[in-house]
Amino acid sequence: MQKFCLALDLIDEPESIKKYEYHHAKGNAWPEVTQHDIDAGILNIEIFRTGNRMFMILETVDEFTFEKKAAFDAANPKIVEWEAFMSTFQKPLPWAKKGEKWVLMDRIFKSSY
């Protein structure tokens, strides 16, 4: 299993954040999207928020790569539609590359307890 941590900002407007959270509440995410994630090798997704900053933890199968996931996403019209819809709530981090939404984070500490 692999674990990835990513960050992204939301547009800093309370109503927009409320709508984004609504679409991620249990039972509200599009079923085609959640099944697509499973089919892509994602075992678990958790998203946390403070203010308008989000932090996502992905746990995936060992064979998972972001390159394979991007190609898989691009070939699915429902995922393209979901991503376009989610983009209406999201704001790239200032240091994100052009076209990049979620930015992969570097682990800087791990306890050895």
Domain positions in the chain: 2-104
User: Residues for the chain: how many in total?
Assistant: 113
d(CA 49, CA 33): 21
The pLDDT score that the predictor gives to residue 107 is: 95
Phi and psi of 22, rounded to 5°? Answer: -60, -45
The pLDDT assigned to 95 comes to 95
Q: What is the pTM of this model?
A: 0.89
pLDDT at 99 over 90: no
Could you tell me what percent of the chain has a pLDDT over 70? 100
- pLDDT (tens digit, 9 = 90+) per residue, 47-83? 999 999 999 999 999 999 999 999 999 999 999 999 9
At the second CATH level, the architecture of 2-104 is 2-Layer Sandwich (3.30)
pLDDT of the residue at 113:
85
Beta bridge partners of 36: none
